[in-house]
Every structure is written in structure tokens, then in C-alpha cells.
Chains A and B, each alone.
Chain A
Amino acid sequence: MVALEKPRSAGLALHIEGLSHAFDIEGTPLPVLENISLNVAPGEFVALLGPSGCGKSTLLRLVAGLEPADQGTLQGDGQPIIGPDPSRVVVFQDPTLYPWRRVWDNVALGLQAQGVLKGQRQRVDAALAKVHLGDFARAWPRQLSGGMAQRVALARALVNEPRLLILDEPLGKLDSLTRIAMQKELIDLWQRQGYTALMVTHDVEEALLMANRIIVFSDRPARVKSQILVERGYPRRRDDPYLVELRTSILQSLGLG
């Protein structure tokens, strides 16, 4: 019977339907998400784009299972999402490395928390190698630059072999050169590992360079305003006329055209 089990695909299928959520600000509810429906196919890279503070990050927290949703359906591979799970890992805007752990031990965090670190230490080394930081295993987080710290945070996520990688503006605080390098790196890793990726970003160009599909959100409370398929292979070029045209139309739909 075990033999009949379907092989687990690398990516998670995400199904969101009629999702609404509100914050409680001193007794008065403040709606942040309104009736959001969204399906993400296994292995798809979806970018969420929208005005600052519109509730995109809240959506990610709900998908990660860090908070229960007020209303609506939220499923991963048909199973309701009721709590956090190492198959759905978040990379936050800040690297949030633990300053009291060396780089290696930060990356080992997930395996240690799940109680499987013993015997799987090579997975930590492999994850560090993936982000080209093998030489920094013994460094303290305070000794790293912003881009390096964010790559360690990425390794800390990837070591768990997530089926859904949730990226909350992961490159938001990096300088533009590091940003370009890391966009390439993220695409490489996504193509090699085959996980589903859900990324919040403020940067239209970044979304166009990285995502298969871009979801544009309205102002708070966030609703899905439009969806754009980016039908281009990788690597993409910033000056690709097709992308430039899409960029203009997205900016227009955001009211910035």
C-alpha cells in the first residue's frame, strides 16, 4: 500500500477561496483582506504586487499558518492550513537571524526544531553551499553584510526542503546591485528545487523578472485587482520590450501610469 502512494511533487498546490481577514485595532475591526480567491499551481512562481500596507504580508502570514484566517478557505494540496508547517517556510524582509547562533546553527534551526538534525548535518552544509556561504559557517550574524544575512535566511528556509517558499519582500532592504544578484539566485534555486513560490514585492520590475504570474492587489482592504501572466522563459532581460510593455500596463492598473 505504501508502494501505491503517489510520489510527492516538489511544489505545493495552493488553493485560496473567499478569504477575508480583519485586524482588531482597540476594539474596532480593520478589514485588511476582502474575499480573496487564488489558485497557485505546484511549482508556480507568483508575485503579489500592491500598494504599501494593503495587506499582502497578512495574506502571507495566513498562508504560512502563523495566524488563523477570519473567513474563507485556505488549503495546501487539498488539506486545510491550520498552523505553521516546515513544508511552508517564510523568508521575511529582515533576515531575523538569531544573533546568538553562528551562521551554521542558524541554518540548522529548522532541522533542530523538528528533532532531525542528528544524522542530517550534511543537509545544513549543502544548504549553505547552495547560497555560496560555505566559508561563513562559523561566522556570527553580526559579521555579515545585509545580502549575506538574507542569503543565510534563504539557506535556513531551503534546508527544510519546503514545498512552498513564502517570500515577504525578501530583497526589500538590499542595495540595488545585491538585489539584482539575488534575483538571479532566487530564480536559479526555484528552477532547481521546483518548489512553489509566493512572493510579496513592491517592485514591479522585480515581479516581472521573476514571476510566472503577477497578482495586483487594490488598496486596503486588499482585493485581487488583476492578474498578469508573464509568458517568458528565464533568464529574462530588463529591457525586453514585452516586459517593458507589461510594466507600463501594471503601473497604469496601480494608478501610477
Chain B
Amino acid sequence: MEYLFHILILSSIYTILSVSLSLVAGHIGILSVAHAGFYGIGAYTSALLTIHLGCPFLLGVLLGMMITAVVSLFISIPSLRLHEDYFVIATFGFQIILFSIFNNWIDLTRGPLGIFGIPQPSILGWKIGSDIDFLIVTVIWTACTCGIVYRLVTSPYGRVLRGIREDEVFTQAMGKNTLWFKVSALALSAGLASSAGSLYAHYITYIDPSSFTVMESILIISMVIIGGADSLWGPIIGAVILVTLPELLRFIGIKSAMAANLRQMFYGLLLVIMMIVKPSGLLGRYRFK
């Protein structure tokens, strides 16, 4: 049963990531390759705060979100003024820089040695020890995240975001400060991704930089794109599919060194075919303009 719980918890954590990315990717139309980095900042911040300062779990998550939101400004303010393609490259660079910090600032992050013994969380005296407890917490938090994103995108704020996506100049002409909308949406998206990182760190109780690489970012992007970036259910389904698929392969039992390559080739091919056949994803309607 714990095996199933584990897969469900991972699916939830990745759902938070993909839904948070869909806020910017689907509704403003800018693709961030730095989400694995934001995810990592959350994981490291709350892990370090709880270990060194004995900070309570929820406060750690919250501080992680705030720090990540601030960090996202470093990337959004310079590069969001530019064309979307440049933003992709800029976030890519930012992802490399963040990974480099996780990996090389050994005094803070212990670098490749990783941080172990991250305490299991307790919320208001409730000690979350077993997997089922943790599943409840992650599912609640995932639901909250989806709720927040859904409320936002159906609000006037979300309409402005889609306005920017369809026609930025027009939206500007309507008197909206589009840069502010883009920057704030990215900060929020980064903050939500960071909370997924905190959950991951306290669940696995061990983190090292290898969990926050560029490939992780590409995985998150694939989830969003396959599901459909501007729909509510699309990113959720994308996350569930891409987390459970490799586990299903475990039962089919392809266990040669080839399987990993074949799986990755399948993802790559899926992206190409998706772009040709249905660039808006399974459930979405927006195709990157």
C-alpha cells in the first residue's frame, strides 16, 4: 500500500509543479525552464531552516515561497521585457546558475553530499509521520494550489494575463501595466513551485542537487505541454501520466540499460508529434503564439 501512497504523493507534488508552471506558460504564454530551480530553492530553504533554526514546517514553507518569489524577480525583470524566446533562454541560464549554486556552495547546501535527516513535518502539533498522513497533507495542498490558480485565471487578473498573451500592445493600450502582471504572475508561479520543493524535501527527508537539474525542468514542461497548458485539468493529468508511466513500466519489466534511453526518446518524440498534431496539448486550447 505504501508503494501506492508514494506514487500518489509524487503525483501530487508534480501536479503542484505543473499547475504552477501552467499559470505562466498557459495564460501568459511564457515558458519557464527555471522551475526545477525554484522547486530546489523551496526544498533547500525549508530544509535548512528546519534543521539549523528549528523553524516550524509551515513557516519554513512560507519563507521558502517568499524567498523564491523574490529570487524570481532577478530573472523576470531583466528578461520579461524581451520576446518570449529570449525569456526561455534566460530562464535556461538561470536554471544552470541555480543548479550551480546548489552544487557548489558547499558551506550552505553541502553540495553533492546532500542534506539528510530533514525532520518530518508537524503542523500545529500534528506529527506527520506515516505516508498516509503525508498523502493527506500533499493532496490538500495540491487542491489548494489548483484552487488558487483556478481562482486567479478566472478572475479579472487572469483575463489580463490572457490579454497579454493574445496581444500585449493592445492590453497596454487598455492601460494595464503588462510588465507588472507578468512579473507578479511569475513570482506567484515560482512561489508555488517552491512549496512543492518543501513538501518533497520533508517527504523524502534527503535532498541533493541531482533532483533539481535542467532535465527536471524539461520534465515539468512536458507535463504541462502534453496535458494542455491553459486548461485546469491538463497539467494535472500530464503530471499523473508522466509520474505513473515509468512505474507501470516497472511491472512490464523492461530492465535493460536501453529502457531509460527508449523512455526518453519516447518523451522527445511525443513533444515533436504533439507540436505538429496538437500544440495545445490534450485538453488545452492555447497554442504558443
Specify whether A and B are partners: no
Q: Which residues of B contact A (CB under 8 A)?
A: none
Q: Which residues of A contact B (CB under 8 A)?
A: none
